[in-house]
Structure 1
Amino acid sequence: MMPRDNMTSLIQKIARQALTTFRNHSATGESKIFLENHSKLRSLLSEVRAADLRIVPRYAERSSAPTPLHGPPVTYMHICETDSFSMGVFLLKHGTCIPLHDHPGMYGMIKVIYGKVRISCFDRLGASPDGALQKSSMRPSTRRSVGEYTEEDAPCVLSPYRDNIHQLEAVDGPTAFLDILAPPYDPDGGRDCHYYKVLQPASESAENKAEVPGHAEVWLAEIPQPGGFWCGSEPYPGPKVSL
């Protein structure tokens, strides 16, 4: 039997609520019950801190400039996975990022547990609610938002048709965030991860784009996984989850 402190832990409550929220849910429709459960999940996720997961912030890595990387730039702590959702923690070293990528037909929630993360979000133009797109590797999109998140902020939320493509960057030092995806990636089920680069109009500089991020139409070109990015794994030290 699972120890009592694990059964009542915040991460256990989050996992149970995630299962309730996403079990048997279809991305093509959002019922009142789903929206209520989704709101409950966001509220629970807003409470989580690094200490709840027994993760010690790695601020010793902080410096004025990125240092040469030893080992993977990003690591992942697996917490749990069902057919309905997956949950784990991503840890980014100082000066690193998770490149621009998508989540076909998936919901997601990102809660920073230490450090600061800059999240750049895009919407795909002409996509259906289930995330289906034309086959072209060039895809018209709109840059919806660029925001910086800390442990004090509410989760960043994505859906199959809003903020579904994003990039996450460690700002001013190492950072970590709790990540929920529903349903999990499944290449055989049509939910593989694709990477992109932004093609900006020649008349607009990158600096101007950053100053006015909202709703700027751009083209995204699908690319192979960037060569400098890879994700390693490490053990999750926190309370166990039972589903």
Structure 2
Amino acid sequence: MSLVQKLFETCKEVFAFGGTGIVPSSENIERLRSVLDAMKPEDVGLNPDMPYFRMTVGERTPAITYLHLYECEKFSMGIFCLPPSGVIPLHNHPGMTVFSKLIFGTMHIKSYDWVVDFPSETPTIVKPSEMQSVEIRLAKVKVDADFNAPCNTSILYPADGGNMHCFTAVTACAVLDVLGPPYSDPAGRHCTYYLNHPFSKFSVDGVSILEEEREAYEWLEEREKPEELAVVGALYRGPKFVES
């Protein structure tokens, strides 16, 4: 059995009874993690010399290629291919458990969880000036680091583990994503994008953090899907798997 076939079969079992906000058991999480940890570029038919990973001359914002492997109402599998400096902007995964495996390359990941024990558990409107009001919510930085393949699969959960994250390609890189369940507008699982602001930028009544801890907290502000984000689809041409 190919590793991508094993991945599909494992996902089908792990997410069989899944849904919004339902996290697989710890045993199932470890099962799926172990399959993803073993994935190498050749297991999905990728290498850094492919056109997906090249910068185009004069291109300000590199296009990102998405290779669709599979999607059903329970889970999805796909690969994001990022040229150097490619960015997947800060976004969320509502009610979802997400496994991200860096197949090759170096990627910077910055992720956040909502702070739920402050008055800002719900969005707070602040007025930096008389002409402007901003709706913000407090989040704690979970991860802010470079990851080099091969490395362990990262996992985020509906309420912790870094549910909002941003990917920046330090070098050309590919990341295999498994989402359970996948995004679905009819089911209320919308992809929301955010701007991040330093904690010191806004002052909110009832919210105080020790100065030496403030770098671990930022304000997130909802935004429209960034205009500069360009994701193009391409056919997955790696080892085949049977959707049994």
TM normalised by structure 2 equals 0.80
Q: 52-61 vs 9-18, which deviates more?
A: 52-61
Post-superposition CA distance 1:119-149 (Å, at most 9, x none): 111001229xxxxx74664211111111222
User: Using a 3 Å threshold, how does the CA distance of structure 1 residues 93 and 223 change in structure 2: closer, same or farther?
Assistant: same
Q: Give the alignment of 1:90-109 within 5 angstroms.
A: 90-109=80-99
Matched residue of 1:187: which SS?
A: coil
Using the TM superposition, give the Cα deviation of residue 203 of structure 1 relative to its aligned residue in structure 2, in angstroms: 7.2
Partner Cα separation in structure 2 for residue 160 and residue 71 of structure 1? 30
Using the TM superposition, give the Cα deviation of residue 214 of structure 1 relative to its aligned residue in structure 2, in angstroms: 9.6
Q: Give the alignment of 1:130-145 within 5 angstroms.
A: 134=122, 137-145=135-143
User: Using a 3 Å threshold, how does the CA distance of structure 1 residues 179 and 165 change in structure 2: closer, same or farther?
Assistant: same
What is aligned with 2:46?
55
What is aligned with 1:120?
110
Amino-acid identity (%): 30
- Indicate conservation of the 8 Å contact 2:110/2:165, yes or no: yes
Using the TM superposition, give the Cα deviation of residue 216 of structure 1 relative to its aligned residue in structure 2, in angstroms: 1.3
Query: What is the aligned length?
Result: 219
User: Runs of 5+ in structure 2 lacking a partner?
Assistant: 125-134, 203-211
Q: Which is greater in Rg?
A: 2
1:16 aligns with 2:9: yes
Using the TM superposition, give the Cα deviation of residue 152 of structure 1 relative to its aligned residue in structure 2, in angstroms: 1.3
Over the aligned positions, Cα root-mean-square deviation in angstroms equals: 2.8
User: Using a 3 Å threshold, how does the CA distance of structure 1 residues 237 and 70 change in structure 2: closer, same or farther?
Assistant: farther
Q: Give the alignment of 1:1-243 within 5 angstroms.
A: 8-26=1-19, 34-58=25-49, 68-69=58-59, 73-126=63-116, 134=122, 137-162=135-160, 163-171=162-170, 173-202=171-200, 216-241=216-241, 242-243=243-244
Using the TM superposition, give the Cα deviation of residue 223 of structure 1 relative to its aligned residue in structure 2, in angstroms: 0.6
Partner Cα separation in structure 1 for residue 54 and residue 166 of structure 2? 21
Matched residue of 2:31: which SS?
A: helix
Partner Cα separation in structure 2 for residue 48 and residue 214 of structure 1? 37
Partner Cα separation in structure 2 for residue 62 and residue 93 of structure 1? 5
TM normalised by structure 1 equals 0.81
User: Runs of 5+ in structure 1 lacking a partner?
Assistant: 1-7, 128-132, 205-211
Amino acid at match of 1:25: G
Partner Cα separation in structure 2 for residue 59 and residue 202 of structure 1? 43
